[in-house]
Amino acid sequence: MTFGARVHAALAARGPFCVGIDPHSGLLHDWGLADDVAGLERFALTVVEAVAPVCSVVKPQSAFYERFGSRGVAVLERVIAESRAAGALVLLDVKRGDIGSTSQAYADAYLDPSSPLASDAITASPYLGFGSLDPMFDTARKHDAGVFVLALTSNKEGPEVQGARVEGGADGQSVGGLMIEHLRRLNDGAQPLGSFGAVVGATIGDTDVDLDFNGPVLAPGYGAQGGTIADIRRIFGSASGHVIASSSREVLRLGPDVAAMRDAVHVANDELRA
Ligand SMILES: O=C(O)c1cc(=O)[nH]c(=O)n1[C@@H]1O[C@H](COP(=O)(O)O)[C@@H](O)[C@H]1O
């Protein structure tokens, strides 16, 4: 089953809310944990226990694990495995992008099922050129995985690059708009949904980019960065059905209370579905 088909089914079954499993040092402190590998492990696996049985998608951010070196990456491997075992799709947030030959190595690291870090999907940066990600798309096709391409990110610095106008492009087309155009072509004809998604922040202002394409959309920035349900409706309109709204700190700060974190997922899913 393709990633697109799996994510389509997961959103219908569990709802569109995704929790980012981001063990910030400040959160470890707030939970009464040490900022070390043992604290990281306790934090991350408690979040998995709370949210992975109820979320359609979870999104661990790799950097928060990498900062502890190989032992932190070993915790990330457990987060991925245990989240998948609990029925959640794992979108590993690594935001990788490089020349094609190195993109292949990233694809092998994160999308090939024989890798210890194999995930259902990854985030990727297309700013070495969309085509530089082709090895990731090809590997994802081969293994029924997915790739989410940064298009209109939630941070205030993003528009400097993503809002720039494409030279020789269609009437005033922006770089972010061109990324969506590439994704539209890549997902063309896939049923019930393509496997190649976009990342579009829940915080972006008005955009002239048509976000209705045949793939999933990750919308981070919901919650702690100020994105609301009204923003998601305004930004995505008729495309809202494929949106995965993602929040990290807003949920994580409720821990280590497992029930409170799980309740927050149910509440967010109910609100987003309504
Ligand atoms: O790709 C992402 O997930 C991402 C893209 C983006 O445009 N903005 C963004 O905040 N993110 C990630 O989404 C998470 C947001 O965390 P909170 O602000 O705590 O909800 C972090 O892991 C970010 O790295």
The arithmetic mean of pLDDT across residues 228-247, rounded, is: 93
Pocket-testing residue among 51, 246, 249, 253, ligand 1, by greatest number of atoms within 8 A of Cβ: 246
How far is the centre of ligand 1, averaged over its atoms, from the C-alpha of 223 (Å)? 11
CATH of the domain at 172: 3.20.20.70
Cis peptide before 256, with omega less than 30 degrees from 0? Answer: yes
Q: Are 222 and 212 in contact (CB under 8 A)?
A: no
Model's pTM, two decimal places? 0.98
pLDDT digits (tens, 9 = 90+) for 14-42: 999 999 999 999 999 999 999 999 999 99
Cα separation, 157 vs 173, whole angstroms: 19
- What is the total count of domains within the chain? 1
How far is the centre of ligand 1, averaged over its atoms, from the C-alpha of 171 (Å)? 30
Tell me the residue range of the domain where 242 lies: 3-273
Residue 225 has pLDDT above 90, yes or no: yes
How far is the centre of ligand 1, averaged over its atoms, from the C-alpha of 221 (Å)? 6
* Residues with catalytic roles: 95
Q: What pLDDT, on a 0 to 100 scale, did the predictor assign at position 171?
A: 78
pLDDT digits (tens, 9 = 90+) for 105-128: 999 999 999 999 999 999 999 999
Atom of ligand 1 nearest to the CA of 24: 19
Residue 274 has pLDDT above 90, yes or no: no
233-251 b/e (C-beta count within 10 Å ≥ 16 → b): eebbeebbebbbbbbbebb
Query: What stretches of 86-197 show up as alpha helix (H) in DSSP?
Result: 100-111, 134-143, 159-162, 175-186
Cα separation, 56 vs 15, whole angstroms: 6
Q: What pLDDT, on a 0 to 100 scale, did the predictor assign at position 174?
A: 95
Q: Are 229 and 272 in contact (CB under 8 A)?
A: yes
How far is the centre of ligand 1, averaged over its atoms, from the C-alpha of 274 (Å)? 24
Pocket-testing residue among 19, 61, 231, ligand 1, by greatest number of atoms within 8 A of Cβ: 61
Atom of ligand 1 nearest to the CA of 148: 1
Atom of ligand 1 nearest to the CA of 222: 20
pLDDT band at residue 7 under the 50/70/90 scheme? very high
Residues with CB under 6 A from ligand 1: 20, 22, 59, 61, 93, 123, 153-155, 199, 201, 220-221, 223-225, 246-250
